[in-house]
Amino acid sequence: MSDFDIDIRDMEEFQRELDNLERHFPKQTKQLMRKSGSKARTIIARYARSLVKKKTGNYRKSIKRGKVWIDKFTGEYKVRVYTNAPHGHLIEYGHRIVDKNGREHGFKEGYHVFGKATYEVDSDWDDIIEKEFDKIFDDL
């Protein structure tokens, strides 16, 4: 079993800054989260283009950024990136290959687009937030 330490001082400092921003500029806080969610959507769409073959393009077009909301339990602002394609979960997690008679002919592994893109989004999240934070304050 391997151990690792995570330094959360920067994240706590950012959370304090975001709370301060929220108190003084609630509109800009939502704008910050909306823009950072759009950047995350761009990263995920790039992974979808590179991993999944294009058949009709509906899967790629279905990757969306949701609205910004405040979590009831933690009080944090959150934004979600999702796919609203009816077959999105099949591409993400995989599925059984079944013919018209119901016989199974194997399993198609999932591409795990969102799972793989999450690593890049997590590693770049601080930079994304910082850039958007600076853009908003330059406008003020």
| Residue pLDDT tens, the chain, 140 long | 344 344 556 667 777 777 777 777 778 888 888 988 999 999 999 999 999 998 999 999 999 999 999 889 988 888 999 999 999 999 999 999 999 999 999 999 999 999 999 999 888 888 888 888 788 777 76
Query: Is residue 21 within 8 Å of residue 28, measured between CB atoms?
Result: yes
pTM of the model: 0.78
Alpha-helical segments (H) within the chain: 9-24, 26-51, 58-61, 88-93, 113-139
Six-digit token string for 53: 């073959």
What ranges do the domains of the chain cover?
Answer: 9-139
